[in-house]
Amino acid sequence: MKEIYRAYKYRIYPNKAQKELINKTFGCCRFVYNFCRAEQKKQEDMWQLVKEMQQQGYCFNDYKSKFFNRFENIKFITELKKTYTWLKEVDNTALQSSVENLAKAYDKYYKKQGGKPKFKSKKNPVQSYITKYNKTNSGGTIRVIGNYIRVAKVGSLKFRDKSRPMGQIVNAVISKENNKYYISLNCKNVLVQEFEKTNKNIGIDLGICDFAILSNGIKISNKKFYENQEENLDRLQRQLSRKQIGSNRWRKAKIKVGKLQTHIANQRKDFLQKLTTNIVKQFDTICIEDLEVSKMKETDKNGRNKRISDLGFYEFRRQLQYKCEWYGKILSVINRYYPSSQICNCCGHRSGKKDETIREWICENCGTKLDRDTNASINILKEGLRMLTV
C-alpha cells in the first residue's frame, strides 16, 4: 500500500439559492484578486517612474517597490470588508485562496518562470474558487454525507457518483463551465494498492495514423475525436458568429459551442484514462519517446497540426507518469533525438533518415522486412531498458 495525493471530481447540482451564492463567490474572489493586483501595479508603476527620472538626472532617494507579500494582503482582506460589506457574505477562505493564487503567480514571475500576472475577467468561460478544509465540532467544513457534499457557506450540494473520496480532504475547488457546476475534492493520505507484477516490458511509439504502436505488434487506432465533430463544431460556430454579441440568442449559441467542445475533450480524456490504466496494469516497464509536440506542429499543413493537437500526446505521458508512480511500475523516457525509425531492430544497422510516406522497408544489411512503426517501438523498448541499466 502507498499513500498519495489524489483529487476526486464530481458534477454537482446546486439549487437556485446555492447557484446565486456560488456565482457571488466567483465575483468576490475575482474582485479581491484584481484589487491586490492593482495595488501592486501602482507600486511597480511608481518605481518605473522614479527609475526614468533618475536616468534623466533628477536626484531621488532610492524608491523600491515591495515584492508581493501574501501575508500582508491576506490581512488586508479584513480592511476591505469594512469598505465593501458584501465581501462578508461569502466564504473567507475562498478570498484568502485568491490572494494565495496571486502570490504563487508573482513567485513564478520573480523567478522568471512565467509572465507578470494578469487581471481576471468575468468573461472567462471557466470560473472557480478554492475553499479550505477546517476542523469543526460537527466533522469539518468539507465533508461527504450520503449523496451530498457539505461545503462552508454554500451548504449541502447534491452529486451523483458511486465513487467516494478516500483519505483526508485538504480543500475543494468549485468551478462552473458551460452552466454546469463541478467540485474537485483534493485529498491526502489516500491508500493505493500496487498492481501485481507481470514481468512484461513494452515499448510505445506514438504516431498520427495510429495513436500508439506497441512493440508486441498491437496497434491502437487514432479515434479522431475532433475530426469526427469538426463539421458540427464549424456549423455551431457559424451560427454563433451571426448572433448579436451579448444577446440571449448569442448566449445560447455560445453554450452549445462550449458543450460540444467539452464533449470532445471528455471523449479524449476517457480514452486516455482507460488506455493508460490498461498499459500500466499489463506491463512492469514502459518505454516511450520524449516527444517535442510544439516542434511537430511547426508546419504549414493545417490539417496535420489539428490532428497532432487532437491526439493529446502530453496528457498520455502525464497519465503514464503518475500512474506508474502510484502502482509501482517503471516509466523509461528515451532521448527525443534517438533514431528509432532508422535502426534495424534485428541487426542494429542504421540506414539513415526516411520520408514519412515510407511505412515499410527492407534492411540493407540483413534483408529483414520491417514495419516502420513496429520497428521503432521495438527500438524504443531496447533503448529504454538499456537506459535503466546505465
| Res 65: pLDDT | 64
% of the chain beyond a pLDDT of 90: 66
Give the pLDDT confidence of 293-309 residue by residue, as tens digits.
777 766 656 677 888 88
* Backbone conformation region of residue 341, classed left if phi is above 0, alpha if psi is from -120 to 50, else beta: alpha
Between helix 70-83 and helix 92-110 the angle, nearest 10°, is 140
Q: What would the mean pLDDT of 259-263 be, rounded to a whole number? A: 93
Closest CA to 116 of 50, 43, 52, 63: 43
C-alpha cell at 8: 476526486
| Res 63: pLDDT | 59
Q: Where are the domains positioned within the chain? A: 2-192, 201-225+263-389
Right CATH for 201-225+263-389 from 2.40.128, 3.30.420, 3.30.70, 1.10.8: 3.30.420
Question: What is the pTM for the complete model shown?
Answer: 0.85
| Res 301: pLDDT | 65
Per the listing, cell 536626484 goes with: 59
C-alpha cell at 351: 540506414
pLDDT grade, residue 291 (50/70/90)? Answer: confident
C-alpha cell at 23: 456565482
- Specify burial of residue 206 (Cβ count, 10 A radius: 0-12, 13-18, 19+): buried
| Res 64: pLDDT | 60
Q: What would the mean pLDDT of 234-246 be, rounded to a whole number? A: 94
Higher-confidence residue: 238 or 123?
238
Q: What would the mean pLDDT of 146-161 be, rounded to a whole number? A: 93
Q: What is the DSSP string of 272-327?
A: HHHHHHHHHHH-SEEEEE---HHHHT-SS-HHHHHHHHHH-HHHHHHHHHHHHHHH
C-alpha cell at 79: 480592511
Give the pLDDT confidence of 204-222 residue by residue, as tens digits.
999 888 999 999 989 999 9
Q: Which range, of 106-120, 121-135, 188-202, 342-356, averages the lowest pLDDT?
A: 342-356
Rounded CA separation 263/302 (Å):
23
Q: What would the mean pLDDT of 74-86 be, rounded to a whole number? A: 93
Average pLDDT in the chain:
90
pLDDT at 372 over 90: no
